[in-house]
Amino acid sequence: MSIALVPTMGNLHAGHLELVRLGRRLADRCLVTIFVNPLQFGEGEDLASYPRTFEADRDKLRAVEADMLFAPSVEEVYPNGRSAQTRVEVPELSDLLCGASRSGHFVGVATVVCKLFNMAQPDLAVFGEKDYQQLLVIRRMVADLALPVKIVGMATAREPDGLARSSRNSYLNKAEREIAPRLYQTLQNTAQAIAAGENDLDSLETSAQATLRASGFRPDYYSVRRAADLMPPESADRELVVLAAAWLGRTRLIDNLRVTGKSMD
């Protein structure tokens, strides 16, 4: 019997439920984990205020017929305490972009995902592409450690106005919620320019950041990278991804868009 794992931190939205539906299609049983992983939150981040909505999450999982729910306590996952916990580090890839502004974040992610894999022994695991860097970090970890789990990425689930679905969208106030879709619109504009042959990526990034600032965002990064490994593209690279993280009030939004460029040769 095959098992699909959908790891989450709860506060489930329609995007998570799509991951569960995909997990159910791909395996005989779909196991969902809910664990707000303290190891992936930095100092001053939203660990304490991260929405914990267990009953509502459980009901949503019942409605989509998830087969199993595992919601361990911090003590179950880190019985020796957090500071003594053995960690999994995916170097380089973890230090870029989100990793540059959230020091230690991807060590926390890789460690907990590796541990959940060992606890649940799934055949495959499903992750959303909204967290594109996280998906690549997990794929690299699985390859480097020869973990017997197939990693399945799923296209970003979006609200009707284009905003990527995220548990943190609930932090946005009404005015911010109206502005928020402009992040995706900006990514689309950049992607369209690249697809049309624009190859001055620096100036695309600079003007996108200015557009975001003018809309009220505080960009953390806005960068066009090689889709395979998030390195700066070389002239022959065509498979690219535009990635952004930007603050809107107290909410840090991330999003990305894949694009095939015209050859820069």
- The catalytic site residues sit at 16
At CB < 8 A and 24+ separation, what contacts does 184-192 make? 184/158, 184/255, 184/257, 186/211, 186/212, 186/222, 186/244, 187/242, 187/244, 187/255, 187/256, 187/257, 188/162, 188/257, 190/224, 190/242, 190/257, 190/259, 191/242, 191/257, 191/258, 191/259
* Nearest distance, CB of residue 37 and ligand PAF, angstroms: 4
Instruction: From 264, 262, 252, select the one nearest 97 (Cα to Cα).
Output: 252
Number of residues that bind ligand PAF (CB under 6 A): 10
Tokens for 144, please give them: 């480097």
By CB under 6 A, the residues from 39 to 98 that bind ligand PAF are 40
Among 3-11, 78-86, 96-104, 153-161, the segment contacting ligand PAF (CB under 6 A): 3-11
What does residue 95 show for φ and ψ, rounded to 5 degrees?
A: -95, -5
* Member of 3, 4, 5, 8 binding ligand PAF (CB under 6 A): 8
> Rule CB under 6 A: is residue 131 a binding residue for ligand PAF?
yes
By CB under 6 A, the residues from 179 to 218 that bind ligand PAF are none
Among 58-66, 78-86, 106-114, 234-242, the segment contacting ligand PAF (CB under 6 A): 106-114
Strand order through the sheet with 124-128: 68-70, 29-34, 3-8, 124-128, 150-154
* Nearest distance, CB of residue 33 and ligand PAF, angstroms: 7
> Rule CB under 6 A: is residue 109 a binding residue for ligand PAF?
yes
* Nearest distance, CB of residue 70 and ligand PAF, angstroms: 12
The 10 Å Cβ neighbour count of residue 42 is 13
Among 105-113, 193-201, 214-222, 225-233, the segment contacting ligand PAF (CB under 6 A): 105-113
> Rule CB under 6 A: is residue 23 a binding residue for ligand PAF?
no
> By the criterion CB under 6 A, which residues form the site for ligand PAF?
7-9, 37, 40, 109, 112-113, 131, 134
